[in-house]
Copies of this chain bind each other. A is one copy, B any other.
């Protein structure tokens, strides 16, 4: 039970896009090369990010992607939910409906929703809310603080040429 690899690709792709100069886009081709994966595969991931309103696409020559809103308004959970979808960790499929006590409805009248589901979803919400509090901007600033001058320059140069 893990997040898909697409979440990691999304995080690391978006991380570099924070430094993109205003009105400059970056092509899928360049990010795919950066990660060593194919263009068409990464495009599926960016398709999800686009539908979630995290990035914006510009078609045609010199087109590409840019962040659809400020990095401070893109949370960790926004990115995860864009890739993983909105489904819950515990999806009660009501196996109780099949159990032997069901034959007598007067005896088997559980309250719905199932309490197990409620408890697990409440715990899940704690996690989600924590992830909603950390933004892509925060991640970017924390990480860049520890980058050397040379590394920041290397990234900036690379972004200039793509």
C-alpha gap A91/B124 in the complex (Å): 18
Flag if A130 contacts B139 (CB, 8 Å).
no
Docked-complex contact A8 and B95, CB < 8 angstroms:
yes
Interface positions of A from 101 to 156, Cβ below 8 Å from B? 101, 104, 106-111, 115-116, 119-120, 122-124, 126-128, 130-131, 134, 139, 142-143, 146, 148, 150-151, 154-155
- Verify if A36 is at the interface (C-beta below 8 Å from B): yes
**Cβ 8 A contact of A120, one of B76, B106, B155:** B76
A95 lies within 8 A of B126 (CB): no
- Report the copy number of this chain in the oligomer: 2
CB of A62 closer than 8 Å to a CB of B:
no
Minimum CB–CB distance from A128 to chain B (whole Å) comes to 8
Residue in contact with A91 in the complex, picked from B2, B85, B143, CB distance below 8 Å: B2
Which of A101, A127, A139, A150 has the most B CB atoms < 10 Å from its CB?
A127
Judged by a CB distance under 8 angstroms, whether A34 is at the interface is yes
Give complex CA distance A5, B95 in Å.
9
